[in-house]
Amino acid sequence: MGDSSDSRPEKSAGGSRDNPRATGAVRLSDVAAAAGVAAMTVSRALNQPELVSERTRERVQRAVIETGYVPNRVAGALASSRSRMVAVLVPTVAHSLFADVVQSMTDTLACEGYQVLLGLTGYQREQEEAVVETVLSRRPDALVVAGTRHSSATRQRLEAARIPVVEIWDMSDDPLDMLIGFSHHAVGAAVAEHLLGCGYQRFGQVMADDPRSHQRAEGFNARIKAEQATRPQAGIKVTTHWADIPASLAGGRSGGAALLARMPDCEAIVCGSDTLAMGVIAEAQSRAMAIPDALAVMGFGDMGFAAATWPALSTVRIDGAGIGRLTADHLLKRFETRHHEPLHDVLDIGFEIVARQTTRAHRS
């Protein structure tokens, strides 16, 4: 009969079975063994470092690095009801405006020890619904979501979560909790007012087929309709082309071509983003159309390249980084006061029309 030790697992060639990395997740007790201290001492060194000596902290930190230990924040959150995590849901990060929002929010929250969990909703209510369900299962301390038009299931989940919720990048009279944004309908109306003031009468729109672009188009069309009623003899008209999402330069160029085919006498094209606007400009230049004399172009977003293009792009400026900072500041105050009841507050940050070289001067 063989030695009973033959039935014990053999050591692998890659390392000992005593190595925590070889046997699964590293535990607090593994760090304690590596540091030569009690598990309670490791816990204190990680969570209340002021209670242990500097020498002990250093030993524990070396053991953490050696073992590859990652603290179980989920367990800690269950005990303290705080995950120190904020879920941020935006349609895309391909658009630099949303990237600016996320970056400034992340930077501000990180200064206070909070991390951002990013989710992409893709402009679809169904996708937003699925992402909300997933991130709420991670027990974030708060949730930030771009937009105010949610499915009934999403609204119910967010209301039942009993955590601070900040809707951004939109405007509504009925926010779930806190709303920080601007009116897309007002943006569209303001752009129409500005271009009418520049003397244009035949307008095209190349807009991404997403809810907020639809709101801007509605605002633009409403102001044009009012002008048509006031000056029926002027021949003011507007034609709209809906581009695929996410917005792209190629989409802007093909959209510009389609619109000019339908409306050869178009004087000014309003675009749903600066990216679409650059595509329209490329299409116009390929046709040797002088900008803004033969065709004016208006963007949206005032992205980093807008002022540096030739001709410089007229657009609408939105302070995306400011939205991110305001949102983070608001949440940090809520965390400090532990106020989780809905506030139903609305903060309208507004917008700015930026007139550059792709539109002619406003008439006095």
Q: pLDDT tens, position by position, for the chain (364 residues)?
A: 444 334 333 433 344 444 544 445 788 899 999 999 998 999 888 888 888 999 999 999 999 888 888 776 555 555 556 789 999 999 998 878 899 999 999 999 999 999 999 999 998 999 999 999 999 988 899 999 999 999 999 999 999 889 999 999 999 999 999 999 999 999 999 999 999 999 999 999 999 999 999 999 999 999 999 999 999 999 999 999 999 988 999 999 999 999 999 999 999 999 999 999 999 999 999 999 999 999 999 999 999 999 999 999 999 999 999 999 999 999 999 999 987 788 899 999 999 999 999 999 987 6
CA–chain centroid gap for 301, Å, is 14
State whether the Cα torsion 143-149-153-155 is positive or negative: positive
Site of tokens 């699925």? 130
Over the range 262-295, which residues count as b (16 or more CB within 10 Å of their CB) and which as e? ebeebbbbbbbbbbbbbbbbebbeeeeeebbeeb
The pLDDT of residue 91 is 94
Q: What are phi and psi of 298, to 5 degrees?
A: -125, 130
Q: Does domain 84-182+321-349 have CATH number 3.40.50.2300?
A: yes
Q: Where are the alpha helices (DSSP H) in the chain?
A: 28-35, 39-47, 54-67, 73-80, 96-110, 125-136, 152-161, 184-197, 211-230, 249-262, 274-286, 320-337
Over the range 13-36, which residues count as b (16 or more CB within 10 Å of their CB) and which as e? eeeeeeebeeeeebeeebbbbbbe
Q: 11-71, which class in CATH?
A: mainly alpha
Amino acid identity of residue 186, one-letter, is A
According to CATH, where is 3.40.50.2300 located in the chain? 84-182+321-349, 184-317
Q: How far apart are CA 353 and CA 175, in angstroms?
A: 26
The pLDDT of residue 341 is 83
Number of H helices, E strands in the chain: 12, 12
According to CATH, where is 1.10.260.40 located in the chain? 11-71
Are 141 and 335 contacting, i.e. CB atoms less than 8 angstroms apart?
yes
> What CATH number has the domain spanning 184-317?
3.40.50.2300
Are 72 and 101 contacting, i.e. CB atoms less than 8 angstroms apart?
no
